[in-house]
Structure 1
Amino acid sequence: MTFSIVARDKATGYFGIAVASRFFAAGAVVPHLAGQVGAIATQALVSPLYGTEGLTLLRSGVSAQRVIDTVVSRDEGRHSRQIHLIDAKGRAAAFTGEKCIDWCGHLVEDNVTVAGNMLAGPQVVNAAMESCLANADLPLEERLLTAMDAAEAAGGDKRGRQSAALRIVHDEDYPWLDIRADDHGVPLEELRRLYAVAQERYLHFAKLMPTRGNIHGPLDRTEIDRKIAELEAERKRTGRPSASFATPAA
């Protein structure tokens, strides 16, 4: 199951993973990320241990390829698994087991890797990679969403659609953005809606979250509140509805 893209923004060092599948809640098991450490996608006959143990190895300074060599070599089920990842230096690596279901395969470039199985064909991963490389000027999250749209337009998962997810980490272990459509007829469209909702309020409040460098977080939220109020006023002025399904205040 699944096609996914793992990318690192060269300018900021931020990591992101986007995934889509004809499988329930792929975002719960495929993406594994930590700020300043790396990002790992594990799929096909998925082993979450590839992600959790892989991040432990990355934290110790092991390279992306060494992570694959380690977790794959000790797993007798490796023939049915995929893993692709990027380490803190932007080195990318990937593995596709010989018994993964066709079409299956991966592509690797500096700071980006794409992989998939049970796909309509190699054009799916080709489209995702080409899109990601061609849109390096976009913010990381938009670059990944655009690449996933390109992959879906090229055929995507040959069985159909069910779930999709996008996770982004900045410099922390917790995600800056983590959105999922676990059971949806058009999950990538639902991710776009959720990203639009996040831009209305959530991503502005995310700036108030404590970080490694400032464990208290900003203590004055005045500027954030002002920005959100301005955006809300502009949305109402132009007659643009909110992307959110949230109920209004009582």
Structure 2
Amino acid sequence: MTFSIVARDKSTGYYGIAVASRFFAAGAVVPHLAGRVGAIATQALVSPVYGTEGLTLLRAGVSAERVIDSVVTPDHGSHSRQIHLIDAKGRAAAFTGDKCIDWCGHLIEDNVTVAGNMLAGPQVLDAAMETWLINSNLPLEERLLTAMEAAEAAGGDKRGRQSAALKIVHEEDYPWLDIRADDHGAPLQELRRLHAVAKERYLHFAELMPTRRNIHGLLDRTEIDQKIADLEAERKKAGRTSASFATPPV
């Protein structure tokens, strides 16, 4: 019922997951990530436990392949599930149960894996992987969205469209970006809009947030405020309207 991509940016070590589905709020149950630990997507007859227990194992240094063995082997329903993940060393692994609904399958390359079920055909994952591989110049979030859009253009979920999500972690357990379209006729297009909104203000303020290395965060917001003001002035000068639906101040 879903197609997704799990990836690690080799240059930064950051992890990201993007998912789309003809299923409500796929972003609530499919992606599981933690900075410096790894990223897991669980789908088909989804088991969020694969994600939560999988992250616990990754934190303990267990490899991606062994995580799959550990969560799949004791599960009597694993024949109808998918899991794919990347561990702290960038090793990728994937599992597709033999009772997942066609078309279903997965692909693995260095620091990236794509998987899906109930798809229009294998071309969906082929398009996602090829697009990911040829766009190494893009930032992680743009690269993930572009790969997902290629997969959608190749047929996507054969039942239609309903939800999509994009989640990225840097070095922290909390996400640097976490956007979702839970019930939408064009969910990937909505993710593009939300990402554009995030770039206007949110992602700049994210630079102020406390981290493991600096529990205080950045307390002087002068530079960030100026950066946001400059970007807004540039946008208005170019005649571009904000991507946000937010109401103006009263």
Q: TM-score with structure 1 length normalisation?
A: 1.00
What is the CA distance between 1:185 and its match in structure 2? 0.2
Instruction: Report what 1:211 is aligned to.
Output: 211
Percent of aligned pairs with the same residue? 85
Runs of 4 or more, structure 1, over 2 Å off, are none
Q: Cα deviation per residue 1:176-217 (whole Å; 9 max; x = unaligned)?
A: 000000000000000000000000000000000000000000
Question: Is it true that 1:244 corresponds to 2:232 in the alignment?
Answer: no
CA shift, 1:71, in A, is 0.2
The worse-fitting range, judged by mean Cα deviation, of 109-118 and 231-240 is: 231-240
Q: How does 1:90-101 map to 2 (within 5 A)?
A: 90-101=90-101
Deviations 1:134-170, CA, capped at 9 Å, x for gaps: 1011100000000000000000000000000000000
Q: Secondary structure at the match of 2:6?
A: strand
Q: Which residue of 2 aligns with 1:193?
A: 193
Mean CA deviation greater in 234-243 or 118-127:
234-243
Cross-structure match for 1:151: 151
Report the number of matched residues.
250
Task: List gaps (5 residues or longer) in structure 1.
Answer: none
Residue type of the alignment partner of 2:108: V
Q: Which amino acid aligns with 1:117?
A: N
Question: 2: distance between equivalents of 1:229 and 1:154?
Answer: 40
- Structure-2 separation of matches of 1:140 and 1:234: 24
Structure 2 match to 1:172: 172
**Which residue of 2 is the match for residue 126 of structure 1?**
126
1:210-243 Cα distance to aligned partner (Å, 9 max, x none): 0000000011110000000001111111110000
> What letter matches 1:233 in structure 2?
A
Q: Which residue of 2 aligns with 1:117?
A: 117
CA distance in 1, matches of 2:25, 2:219: 36
Structure 2: distance between partners of 1:78 and 1:137: 37
Residue matched to 1:6:
6
Structure 2: runs of 5+ lacking an equivalent: none
1:215 maps to a residue whose letter is: I
How many Å apart are 1:84 and its aligned residue? Answer: 0.1
1:106 partner SS: strand
Letter in 2 for 1:164: A
How far does the alpha carbon of each residue in 1:79-128 deviate from its partner, in whole angstroms, 9 at most, with x for none? 00000000010000000000000000000111000000000000000100
Quick one: distance in 2 between partners of 1:138 and 1:74? 40
Q: C-alpha separation between the residues in 1 aligned to 2:74 and 2:216?
A: 42
What TM-score, normalized by structure 2, do the two folds share? 1.00
* CA distance in structure 2 between the aligned counterparts of 1:136 and 1:75, rounded to whole angstroms: 37
Residue 27 of structure 2 aligns with which residue?
Answer: 27
Query: Secondary structure, in 3 states, of the residue corresponding to 1:74?
Result: coil
RMSD: 0.4
* Structure 2: distance between partners of 1:160 and 1:154: 12
**Residue 200 of structure 2: SS of its match in structure 1?**
helix
